[in-house]
Amino acid sequence: MAKQFLNNDEPFIKRGRMTKSPLEMKPEELKIWEQKEQAFVRNHLFSIGQPLVYKKNGVMVVEFADGRTEKL
């Protein structure tokens, strides 16, 4: 990880939200974590006015906050 510095040369440490590595999780924990992360990403994108884009059945799909979906 590259060190980032503020103007006063003090190290800037960015902390994430993870408390446990996915590699160390039990299958049940991993499934719950994946569901929470998917919901977090969806909510974040919609809150900043961006659609969610993903692949479904081999087709790219755009999902909007109002529930509409469109194929690309």
| Residue 45 Rama label (left phi>0; alpha psi -120 to 50; beta) | alpha
CB 71, CB 64: distance < 8 Å: no
Residue 43 domain-assigned (yes or no) = yes
In tens, the pLDDT along 25-70 reads: 999 999 999 999 999 999 999 999 999 999 999 999 999 999 999 9
Q: Tell me if 17 is assigned to some domain.
A: no
Task: Give me the pLDDT at residue 38, please.
Answer: 92
pLDDT at 4: 53
What whole-number distance in Å separates Cα of residue 54 and Cα of residue 72?
10
Q: Which domain holds residue 57?
A: 24-72
Q: What is the tally of structural domains in the chain?
A: 1
Both tokens of 35, joined, read 């569901």
What pLDDT shows up at residue 1?
45
The 3-state DSSP class for residue 34 equals helix
Taking alpha carbons only, the member of 13, 70, 17 closest to residue 39 is: 17
